[in-house]
Amino acid sequence: MNTGAAVALALAGSYLAGSVPFAWIVTKAVTGKDLRAVGSGNVGATNASRALGGKWFLAVFLLDAAKGAAGVRVAAPMVDGLGGTDALRLAIGCGLAAILGHVTCPWLGFRGGKGVATGAGVIAALAPLAAACGLGAFFAALALTRFVSLASCVGAAALAPAAWLLGCPADLVWFGAVVAALVIFLHRRNFARIAAGTEPKAFSKREAGHAG
């Protein structure tokens, strides 16, 4: 197989891996419910925890993160003959493909999640320290605001500056910015609800979220 075909196959495989709707599958298997008809209708870990209970959140989150990491750690290295910047760019491309697979799930009418968990898995595989900084920013924002949606956006927004400060390659810094822009765009309705005072908060009877 030539390099071009191998790259295309790696990108396609990453997209398909990202498109596996773990939140929907687990919810359907455990409760029989269609997650798209529960809570926000979002096919992500936070909404799944509404149907399944909070104890399921971490399991679904990790499954969604794993499919993002798989594009970087499994699909990209399968392409021989690339090194240095080219290998990094392929890994970034596979990570982005996995995120897009999650967001535009073809098995559910191109209706997916908001890319938070899958994006976290991709960044953790590419730049673990930057991912740790984003996680810290997420928890700080969550503690201050109790909005999971806002905290998710703050965590995503911290990725590019963290990658730059840590001396990561420019391609990773730009990728962090792209992930942040996508996550923030997909949470635009959450911001409208926050402004209107209708967005539920975490640690209350009504569970916050719309992330993932």
C-alpha 51: how far from chain center:
20
Cα–Cα nearest to 136, from 165, 167, 110: 165
Q: What pLDDT is attached to residue 207?
A: 46
User: What are the average pLDDT values for consecutive 10-residue runs of the chain, which has 212 residues?
Assistant: 90 97 96 90 88 90 96 90 89 97 95 94 97 97 94 97 98 97 95 91 55 50
Give CA–CA dist 118/106, Å, rounded.
16
Q: What pLDDT is attached to residue 1?
A: 72
Q: What pLDDT is attached to residue 204?
A: 57
Q: What pLDDT is attached to residue 3?
A: 87
Distances in Å between the Cα of 94 and the Cα atoms of 43, 75, 106 are: 21, 7, 17
Q: What pLDDT is attached to residue 54?
A: 82
Distances in Å between the Cα of 74 and the Cα atoms of 19, 35, 78 are: 16, 29, 7
- What is the torsional sign of CA 38, 46, 187, 150? positive
Q: What pLDDT is attached to residue 206?
A: 46
Contacts of 203 (CB under 8 A, 6+ apart): 146
Amino acid identity of residue 6, one-letter, is A
- CA dihedral (100, 102, 104, 110) in degrees, to 10, reads 160
Q: What pLDDT is attached to residue 40?
A: 80
